[in-house]
Structure 1
Amino acid sequence: MRAPTGGRPFGARRPQTGFARREQPEPAGLAPRRAAIRLVDGVLSRTRTLDAALEADHDPTGFRALNERDRGLARAIAGVTLRRFGTLRGLIATRLDKGMPKKGGPLEAILATGAAQALFMDVPVHAAVDLAVAAARADPDARHFAGLANAVLRSIAAAGAPTPEPGLDLPPWLFARWRQAYGEETAAAIADAVAFEAPLDLSVKADPEGWAARLGGVVLPTGGVRVPSGGQVAALEGFAEGGWWVQDAAASIPVKLFGNLDGKRAIDLCAAPGGKTAQLAAAGADVVAVDKSAERLTRLAQNLSRLGLSASVRVGDAASVTMEPAEAVLLDAPCTSTGTIRRHPDVAWMKREHEVASLSRIQAQLLDAAARLVAPGGLLVYGVCSLEPEEGERQIAGLLARNPKARIEPVTPDELPGLREAIDDQGCVRALPSHLANPEPRLAGLDGFFAARLRIG
């Protein structure tokens, strides 16, 4: 069976806009399917993440040209395909005696998106298959395999969805790591949790109960508000007025570990996109936000302006930046982001195992630099949205071994009501996607996250 990312890079193979022109009007519903195929193909070829494709100034997918309804459909198809890609890849492979054709263009994405609609979405089988075949015929490379696509998809649809298996929809290397780190039962629970689309979590400036009532959501133990995902965020009540910002419940935990920040100086390292900067400012801190990307800091400043909050922004590398030490230093370090797969399903298929080691080395450098920016007796909070121990627990163990002035200041259950299970034996926070259980999967879970609070000096 061919690996999902095999073959030549998508961008080098042909332009993503390379669907052939046709004299006849295209079938209704084909445009969002073609956009979904291009989105998925960019991920499988590791040329572009979903977010990058959806936010790029140059849109090679055709996504932005769609109306709002079709954009929602394209995103839904791409999301379901990537969440169930392990299963889909296996079903497709068993029906290809000679493996995936090497010159089939986006054929793998065509088959996967078609099968995802037929098996896991409320799309009639004939529509899912016929439109996938039409997409194949419209592509200069895949058109030679339109008959094959028709046969494969009809066979998959006739057999129906298989019985779910723990971890089958994840890359084998990743699920094996989770089993080793957390045990079979917990790893299976994590895999089950990331199979569902994440809800929309909001950090509010004030009155979470009121915002929950207005938005039809619920108040979380972290003090945020959770609403079912779907629709345009900017169209929700309170967005334009700056009443809240989007931030997963787990990502809101690190700032809470500082306690009272009113009037204190705080440094937010690797600050963009700015959710934690907003938290620090809303808590009354005098914040300096540092990030190496000037473009991302511009967006951070725009978000703060919408929220009516302020912070000093500084372009710089967190590993070498120098400034006056602060009482509170936050390092949300770059990481593999494996804790965010339920929110960003492309992460599972974009990342490779060797990146854990390379990012771990960067995190250690950043931690040492962050510790130097803490005023004597101040607090350093370290966080990563990763489920990999090398990026979390082992980073803290390494810092303690290197820096005799650092010590863990344990987090207590009363600081995280409703999330006692996320506090480990050392008093660090290890949030899992399977935490915050709810009978309704659309309102359950949170991102996988690690956070540690350290007193320096």
Structure 2
Amino acid sequence: MNARVAAAELLMTVMDRGRALEDALAVVHSFNALEGRDRAFARALATAGLRRLGGVNAVLSRFLDRPLPETAPHARALLHIGATQLLVLGTPPHAAVGETVEAANSLRETRGFAKLMNAVLRKVAANGPQLLQQLPPGADLPPWLYTRWRATYGDAAPHIAQALLQEPPLDISVKSDAEEWAEKLGGVLTPTGSIRLTSPPPIESLPGFDDGAWWVQDAAAALPARLLGDVAGKRVLDLCAAPGGKTLQLAAAGAHVTAVDKSEQRLSRLHENLARTKLSATVIAADALDFRAEPFDAILLDAPCTSTGTLRRHPDVAWLRRPTDIRTLAELQNKLIAAAAPLLKPDAPLVYAVCSLEPEEGPGVVAEALRNGWRRQPLTDEIPSEFITADGDMRTHPAHWPNIGGLDGFYAARLVRA
């Protein structure tokens, strides 16, 4: 019961207070009071509720005469959590209904809605699964976002939306001996050399964690750093570096890395991983727009973005973003590329990357760069051909690799000063 209350409060913190789920995990007292399996269950339940938010709400609307009032956020969240158990997690109806109603009766804010929850959830248990299956592709996403994807990706958009409904596997980058570590970890090698694990135990318990042999990094996120080519012995600038997976990649490849990010809190994780992996980099807390240094041999700019390519792992992002965020962030990305120009040696490459599926943050930003003194250096065989666009840039999306668990959405382009 307490886990269900905690999950509801996590959901409420995201949807009604606009906090990211990762932030909510740190501030919701009912969640932090849990331990072990209850804590894991609450997090999984909240994540599932966000991943299927649109669909669960659509089913609930069929059994409510009118939506629960905005003044009752606890009740709306707890009802959603109860329905998520029935529709997504497959919890037996007697447990999902009974324990949700019991949780409602235990809270002053929801006690008056307990009878209504009982009635609605019983109807959801009886008829909801069929209704959920009948919903069209994209029903679990904000309509504005899925409409954009239909315009950009056409027939691939339903497959992208479907891929987002699955719990993603865990991807790992290793310092060396990927095949050997895949066997030790019980994983498989992806086509690009990352190690992929399904249903892994806690990360800290895996072989090689304490020894710093590897770090967690989505297979798509591991690709942009490779577009710089052989960086051994070169001075490489990693702009907007935190949480640091690409810094570790570059350092492991023999580069002399300077990692810059304006968030000292996020950089603390990079410091921890550098210490654990016994890799070295110069880490600087600074705004990339203001950073100055002697020119570098290469720059990797993984720019702040809407992060719509990461919805497999962060389903809350879909509901926290607004259409206006895209233009605002594209303007920042343009400024970051301009600020990077004096930090590059002549003819040195800059790889611009974003974990966004929005064209304004990818090709749109590169088009602006091409109008302002940059030229594209097209990709050839550095990555699988299915990820190379007609313009010679990189584009991955969640519907890639459907047989092995999908992929985050990333865009990257390699630029040099004209």
Give the TM-score, by structure 2 length. 0.96
Q: Does 1:453 align with 2:414?
A: yes
Q: Which runs of 4+ in 1 moved over 6 A?
A: none
Letter in 2 for 1:192: Q
Q: Does 1:216 align with 2:177?
A: no
Aligned equivalent of 1:117: 85
Specify which of 348, 354, 368 is matched with residue 398 of structure 1.
Answer: 368
**What's the secondary structure of 1:257's corresponding residue?**
helix
Instruction: Name the CA distance, whole Å, in 2 between partners of 1:45 and 1:230.
Output: 32
Aligned equivalent of 1:139: 107
Aligned equivalent of 1:231: 201
Instruction: Name the CA distance, whole Å, in 2 between partners of 1:218 and 1:46.
Output: 40
Paired residues of 2:10 and 2:28 also in contact (CA < 8 A): no
**What's the secondary structure of 1:447's corresponding residue?**
coil
Q: How many residues align?
A: 415
| 1:161-211 deviations in Å (ceiling 9; x for gaps) | 12242100111011001001111x200010011111111000100111111
Which residues of 2 match residues 141-290 of structure 1 at below 5 A?
A: 141-161=109-129, 162=131, 163=133, 164-183=135-154, 185-290=155-260
Letter in 1 for 2:224: P
The structure with the largest helix share of the pair is: 2
Aligned equivalent of 1:369: 339
Letter in 2 for 1:445: G
Paired residues of 1:93 and 1:100 also in contact (CA < 8 A): no
Instruction: Name the CA distance, whole Å, in 1 between partners of 2:205 and 2:358.
Output: 36
Seq. identity, %: 51
| 1:73-129 deviations in Å (ceiling 9; x for gaps) | 112211211111111111122222232223323112111111111122131111111
Which residues of 2 match residues 407-418 of structure 1 at below 5 A?
A: 407-412=375-380, 414-416=381-383
Instruction: Name the CA distance, whole Å, in 2 between partners of 1:381 and 1:96.
Output: 51
What displacement does 1:65 show? 2.7
Q: Does 1:100 align with 2:68?
A: yes
Instruction: Name the CA distance, whole Å, in 1 between partners of 2:89 and 2:160.
Output: 22
Paired residues of 2:14 and 2:316 also in contact (CA < 8 A): yes
Instruction: Name the CA distance, whole Å, in 2 between partners of 1:180 and 1:282.
Output: 40
Paired residues of 1:88 and 1:112 also in contact (CA < 8 A): yes
Q: Does 1:40 align with 2:7?
A: no
Aligned equivalent of 1:301: 271
**What's the secondary structure of 2:349's corresponding residue?**
strand
List alignment gaps of at least 5 residues for structure 2. Answer: none
Instruction: Name the CA distance, whole Å, in 1 between partners of 2:397 and 2:369.
Output: 23
**What's the secondary structure of 1:63's corresponding residue?**
helix
Letter in 2 for 1:304: L
Decide which moves more: 390-399 or 161-170: 161-170
Instruction: Name the CA distance, whole Å, in 2 between partners of 1:36 and 1:231.
Output: 22
**What's the secondary structure of 2:406's corresponding residue?**
coil
Letter in 1 for 2:412: A
What displacement does 1:230 show? 4.5
Instruction: Name the CA distance, whole Å, in 2 between partners of 1:246 and 1:214.
Output: 16
Aligned equivalent of 1:426: 391
Instruction: Name the CA distance, whole Å, in 2 between partners of 1:334 and 1:456.
Output: 22
Aligned equivalent of 1:80: 48
Instruction: Name the CA distance, whole Å, in 2 between partners of 1:112 and 1:87.
Output: 11
| 1:262-307 deviations in Å (ceiling 9; x for gaps) | 0000001001000000011011000111011122222211111101
Instruction: Name the CA distance, whole Å, in 1 between partners of 2:185 and 2:84.
Output: 31
Specify which of 352, 357, 366 is matched with residue 327 of structure 2.
Answer: 357
Instruction: Name the CA distance, whole Å, in 2 between partners of 1:278 and 1:218.
Output: 21
Decide which moves more: 447-456 or 38-47: 38-47
List alignment gaps of at least 5 residues for structure 1. Answer: 1-29
What displacement does 1:336 show? 0.5
**What's the secondary structure of 2:254's corresponding residue?**
coil
Paired residues of 1:341 and 1:347 also in contact (CA < 8 A): yes
Letter in 1 for 2:269: R
Specify which of 255, 258, 283 is matched with residue 313 of structure 1.
Answer: 283
What displacement does 1:378 show? 0.2
What displacement does 1:370 show? 1.6
Letter in 2 for 1:429: M
Paired residues of 1:53 and 1:61 also in contact (CA < 8 A): no
Give the TM-score, by structure 1 length. 0.88
Instruction: Name the CA distance, whole Å, in 1 between partners of 2:174 and 2:339.
Output: 31
Instruction: Name the CA distance, whole Å, in 1 between partners of 2:333 and 2:258.
Output: 20
Q: Does 1:66 align with 2:30?
A: no
